[in-house]
Amino acid sequence: MALTDTAIRNAKPKAKPYKIYAGEGLFLLVTPKGGKWWRFKFRVDGKEKQLSLGTYPQIGLKLARERCAQARKDMENGVDPAANRKALKFATPEETVNSFEVVAREWIGTRSAIWAPSHSSKIIRRLELDVFPWIGKRPINEIRPPEILSVLRRIEKRGAGDTAHRALQNFGQILRYGVATGRAERDYAADLRGALAPVREGHFSAITDPKSIGKLLRAIDNYEGGYVVRYAMRLAPLVFVRPGELRRAEWQEIDFEKAEWNIPAERMKMRQPHIVPLARQALKILEELKPLTGQGRFLFPSAQSKQRPMSDNAILCALRRMEIGKDEMTGHGFRAMARTVLDEVLHVRPDYIEHQLAHAVRDPNGRAYNRTAHLPERHKMMQDWADYLDKLREKAS
């Protein structure tokens, strides 16, 4: 039964505190002295946290739900609502508006319509770990190159050169946003160009040798871990989407009649809807999986909760259990595998491959192709690819 204001008003204190749940993480804590506190329970990086939303009756049920919805929206944009509130607790309104951390979080919020939630989360975690503790409370208009460089040197010293370069890029983006909103003079991070040690360009590890691919496929077939991860690994080489797109796949997106997986724009890196043609082998895997997870939302639900997708490290951990090293293969490596072999062995047109990888592909006039471009050809490509993988698997037996 849905919670009502009448039920809240009539809730009596007990010898010990107790909770009245309102759904979606929102609950009312009733204390022995009769106090009634709204709380929002959520998780960040697997750790449970709570956010206070005010007291009843000053904050009624409707307003509490609205505050809860805003907190969930912050989380979808990669923002920890508790950490965000902490950042706002400064001595003066001017400091609140102009602190580097607050401006940074505001900038990330403006990108929510463009970035996938997972991308926002990566940036906010980087800033929370390596930047905010040292410079977050500083007024953004007072930050100068030596102070920025000091933060970046700390990152370099722990051997994370690539992270230091990415943090420098974020500094520039945030400062430019500060200039645009009238809170910073200019992008002082631009003065640090060349100040960091260069980082050799790297790529996600991937198995691209046909013989080794066959052995990998056989190893996946023989994987003895959980069935959800096993099916995800079996499907991964046949669709070669990004790991986050795979693990968040939903049953409502699968069209068995058309043999297509329709991924909505909000889950794609480029924020454009994407069609993945499904080969016969992929459909067979999905038909086997449907009786196991088809009653829920996700193809690959978490072992802890069917309401969440499996962990972003699930496939990576499975590969390690199979004794496949990080220098050999990653979850992202299935994309590099397909791209290399489709081009160099099966001689598929590069634009078909790039479009199927959901990369930015444009026509001769500079216009982006829509999601249905070359769809019949991509259906054939995906079937040829699945058939080729079957041959490699058979040779490895």
3-class state of residue 331 by DSSP? coil
For residues 252 and 379, membership in a common domain is answered with yes
For residues 92 and 166, membership in a common domain is answered with yes
Question: Residue 381 falls within a domain, yes or no?
Answer: yes
For residues 359 and 255, membership in a common domain is answered with yes
pLDDT digit string (tens) for 35-84? 899 999 988 766 788 888 888 988 888 889 988 888 887 777 666 777 76
Question: Residue 333 falls within a domain, yes or no?
Answer: yes
Range of the domain at 43: 5-76
The whole-number pLDDT of residue 286 equals 94
Instruction: Report, as residue numbers or ranges, the catalytic residues.
Output: 242, 269, 332, 335, 359, 369
Q: How confident is the model at residue 202 (pLDDT cuts 50, 70, 90)?
A: very low
For residues 226 and 169, membership in a common domain is answered with no
Domain count, the chain: 3
Q: Which residues pair with 275 in a beta bridge?
A: 262
Residue reference for tokens 């929510």: 112
Over the Cα atoms of the chain, what is R_g?
Answer: 25
Out of 162, 192, 222, pick the residue that ends a domain.
192
Provide the residue type at 176 as one letter.
Answer: R
Q: Can you give the CATH number for the domain in which 255 is found?
A: 1.10.443.10
Give every strand in the sheet of 18-23, ordered side by side: 18-23, 26-30, 36-44, 47-55
Q: Average of pLDDT values for 111-122? A: 75
Q: Can you give the CATH number for the domain in which 148 is found?
A: 1.10.150.130
pLDDT digit string (tens) for 151-176? 999 888 877 787 888 899 999 999 99
pLDDT digit string (tens) for 75-112? 776 667 777 666 555 444 555 568 899 999 989 888 87
Question: Residue 197 falls within a domain, yes or no?
Answer: no
pLDDT digit string (tens) for 291-315? 999 889 999 988 888 888 888 788 8
Q: What is the dihedral of CA 97, 101, 106, 112, to 10 degrees?
A: -170
For residues 259 and 147, membership in a common domain is answered with no
Determine what percent of the chain is predicted with pLDDT higher than 90.
25
For residues 43 and 116, membership in a common domain is answered with no
Q: Can you give the CATH number for the domain in which 57 is found?
A: 3.30.160.390
Please state the φ and ψ torsions of residue 123, each to the nearest 5 degrees.
-70, -45
pTM, 2 dp: 0.50
Question: Residue 201 falls within a domain, yes or no?
Answer: no
Q: Average of pLDDT values for 2-29? A: 89
